[in-house]
Amino acid sequence: MGADMQSSEGRRRRRHRAPMSQINVTPFVDVMLVLLVIFMITAPLLTVGVQVDLPETEAGPISGDDEPLTISITKDNVIYLQETEVELGDLVPKLMAISERRTDTRIFMRADTDIPYGRVMEVMGTINRAGFKKVALVTKLDKGEN
C-alpha cells in the first residue's frame, strides 16, 4: 500500500512542475569551437595573396610582435606592396605612408626563385636607402634535410 501512494505522489509532482525555460548551449559551443579551429587553420593561408615560388633554406622563422609589411616580386617581375601592384619609384612613398613614417617597421620581402638576384638587391637597396633597416627575405623551409 505504501508503495502505491509514493508512485501516485510522484506522478502528481511531475504534473505540477513548471516547464524548463533554460537554453541548452552545448551545441552552440560545439559549433563555435569547430568554427574557431577552421579559422585558425585558414587565417595564416590568407595573409598574402600574391603567388610567389619561394626559394628554400634551413633558417628558422623570425619572431616579432608587430605585423610586418610584405613586398613581393613575382616571376613576371611585378612588385607588390602587400597585395597592391606598385612601380619601384612609387614603392618608398607608399611604404612611408603605410608605416606612418616609422622606419623601424619590419618588412618581409618575397621574391620568386626565377627573379635575378640583381633585381632583388635593387628593390632592397631602394628600401634601405629610404631608411628601413628591418628588411628580411622570406623563404620556404627546406624539409628534406631535417
pLDDT above 90 for 115: no
SS3 string, 54-65, reads CCEECCCCCCCC
Instruction: Say what the pTM is.
Output: 0.55
The residue ranges of every structural domain in the chain are: 2-45, 49-141
pLDDT of residue 67: 76
DSSP states along 8-40: HHHHHHHHHSPPP-----HHHHHHHHHHHHHHH
pLDDT above 90 for 31: yes
Q: What is the mean pLDDT of residues 119-146?
A: 82
Percent of the chain past pLDDT 90, that is, above it, reads: 19
pLDDT of residue 87: 92
pLDDT above 90 for 80: yes
**Which CATH architecture fits 49-141?**
2-Layer Sandwich (3.30)
Query: Which three cell numbers mark 93?
Result: 612613398
Considering only residues 20 and 8, tell me which one the structure prediction assigns the higher pLDDT: 20
